[in-house]
Amino acid sequence: MNLIHIFRRIQFNINNCSYSFPTLRKCIFLLGSAFVFFKTNVSAQQKLLQGQMTFIATPKPNSIIYHDTLYNGSHSFRALFLRTKDPQIIEAYKFHQTDKIWGSILGTTGSVALSLGVVYASSSHPNISRSTGWIMAGSGMIAAITGGYLMNRANADLLLATYLFNKKQLKPTTSIGISSNGLSVVVKL
């Protein structure tokens, strides 16, 4: 088959296409616009600011980078929050822990209940009716969605704790020092 036959076949397919060219142009324009939007607004790297705490949202475990040190999991960065003795930061950290634990419990039990409910609803099990299976599947779905919401809230609480930590740490402070030579004023920026 030579190029002329291939070109005629392509031309025949284009002429018999059910889409008109203005519709095709609109689709190409919308896809191109979406590509440009995502290309300008999405970044593969997260900016690490000097001297600040940065929260990295990962599936497990949560991570925080502070002073070029990576803290993985809540046990390793709990000391950073408790060191400040700030009630807002500690409360946000405790909410993070509570939401994370309950989100994991509800997500796991919801997934199991959803799976078992679908199995019982779709089969003719002698001991369990189909309506019980559908109720189990529905309640499992609600529990799984609630668990996902709580996990999302846990990340938001940890992000709030890091924001408050950075806000408190970066506040300029002034202190007066006394030495043998006299008084001095120290300004920490």
Which tens digit of pLDDT belongs to each residue from 112-147?
999 999 888 888 767 778 888 889 999 999 999 999
Q: Which tokens belong to 138?
A: 């529905």
Separation of alpha carbons 86 and 93, rounded Å? 11
Give me the pLDDT at residue 82, please.
Answer: 81
Q: Is residue 51 part of a domain?
A: no
Give me the pLDDT at residue 77, please.
Answer: 75
Q: Is residue 67 part of a domain?
A: no
Give me the pLDDT at residue 109, please.
Answer: 96
Q: Is residue 158 part of a domain?
A: yes
Give me the pLDDT at residue 139, please.
Answer: 94
Laid out side by side, the sheet with 63-66 consists of 54-56, 63-66, 69-72
Would the pLDDT of 181 be above 90?
Answer: no
Q: Is residue 5 part of a domain?
A: no
Q: Is residue 35 part of a domain?
A: no
Give me the pLDDT at residue 103, please.
Answer: 92
**For 46-105, what is each residue's pLDDT tens digit?**
666 666 777 777 667 777 777 777 777 777 778 878 887 888 888 988 898 899 899 999
Structural domains in the chain (count):
1
Query: Range of 166's domain?
Result: 75-171
Query: Burial of 159 by CB count in 10 Å (0-12 exposed, 13-18 middle, 19+ buried)?
Result: middle
Give me the pLDDT at residue 28, please.
Answer: 75
Q: Is residue 87 part of a domain?
A: yes
Asked if residue 61 has a cis previous peptide bond (ω within 30° of 0), the answer is yes
Mean pLDDT of 23-50: 66
Give me the pLDDT at residue 184, please.
Answer: 65
Q: Is residue 50 part of a domain?
A: no
Q: Is residue 97 part of a domain?
A: yes
What's this model's pTM, rounded to 2 decimal places? Answer: 0.61
**For 138-177, what is each residue's pLDDT tens digit?**
999 999 999 999 988 988 888 888 888 888 776 666 666 6
